[in-house]
């Protein structure tokens, strides 16, 4: 049974993986046997990640690229295909949030968040899907959020982008399923990561999360990693077009 969750012989690109949830996902996939390609914007952080993986005997390479320019994203994908031949598992984790409401956000703010959180997912899927289709096997895992199904004041661009990720996931699942490629999304709740430091320093917000989450706590990054193994492996081969809420029950109780 455990063999169903093995990723030996598979290559996996995880974007935005030098820290936080992306790092945890890369770590999990590597532990399951995947040859990982860890992407990020910070060369120093990527070098640390690669060294940590090497110490555990895990095959890992790195790639630096910005995700706010579609042409750069597509160039990165083509470089990776030239270097590695194929990417079996694509984890679209890279993204960002500009915490400005409707009256504060600029058009540039709106476009930046949409480019990072949604357009890059589409572009990478479009670049890697042909090789997956040729192999009749592929996994695309998009990173959504509880904001893929909920909303909060003050983050319209992020909420719109993550709702878009949900729609894109289902659309690609419908299109690629018969070709051997599954497309799913992981939708995290509130996790203890660097990205959420602004919230973690706010006792009122921290208490709100703990009170509204049925498990009564914030998530730990490794709890997203195990979900990624499931969706990436043959253990999740009949899961397609699914938004997997990894949120401690937050969206079940709101």
Active site positions, annotated? 158
| Crossing angle (nearest 10°) for helices 20-31 and 222-232 | 50
* Distance of alpha carbon 136 from alpha carbon 163, whole angstroms: 28
Q: Write the DSSP symbol of residue 115.
A: I
Tokens 């996939």 appear where?
29
Residues 23/221, Cβ–Cβ less than 8 Å: yes
Q: Sign of the CA dihedral 115, 116, 118, 121?
A: positive
Helices and strands (H and E) in the chain: how many: 10, 7
CA 84 to chain centroid, in Å, comes to 21
């Amino acid at each position: 049974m455990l063999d169903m969750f093995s990723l030996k012989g598979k290559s996996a690109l995880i974007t935005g993986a030098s820290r936080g949830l992306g790092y945890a996902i890369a770590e999990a996939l590597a532990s399951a046997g995947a040859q990982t390609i860890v992407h990020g914007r910070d060369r120093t952080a990527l070098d640390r990640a690669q060294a940590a993986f090497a110490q555990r005997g895990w095959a890992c390479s790195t790639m630096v690229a910005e995700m706010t320019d579609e042409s750069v994203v597509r160039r990165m994908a083509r470089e990776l295909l030239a270097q590695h031949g194929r990417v079996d598992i694509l984890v679209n984790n890279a993204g960002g949030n500009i915490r400005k409401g409707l009256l504060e956000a600029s058009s540039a703010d709106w476009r930046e968040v949409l480019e990072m959180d949604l357009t890059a997912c589409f572009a990478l899927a479009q670049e890697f899907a042909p090789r997956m289709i040729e192999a009749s096997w592929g996994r695309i895992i998009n990173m959504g959020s509880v904001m893929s199904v909920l909303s909060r004041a003050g983050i319209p661009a992020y909420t719109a982008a993550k709702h878009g990720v949900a729609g894109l996931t289902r659309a690609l699942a419908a299109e690629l399923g018969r070709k051997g490629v599954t497309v799913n999304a992981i939708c995290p709740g509130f996790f203890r990561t660097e990205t959420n430091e602004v919230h973690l320093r706010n006792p009122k917000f921290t208490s709100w999360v703990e009170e509204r989450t049925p498990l009564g706590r914030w998530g730990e990054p490794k709890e997203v990693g195990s979900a990624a193994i499931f969706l990436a492996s043959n253990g999740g081969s009949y899961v397609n077009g699914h938004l997997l809420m990894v949120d401690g029950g937050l969206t079940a109780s709101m």
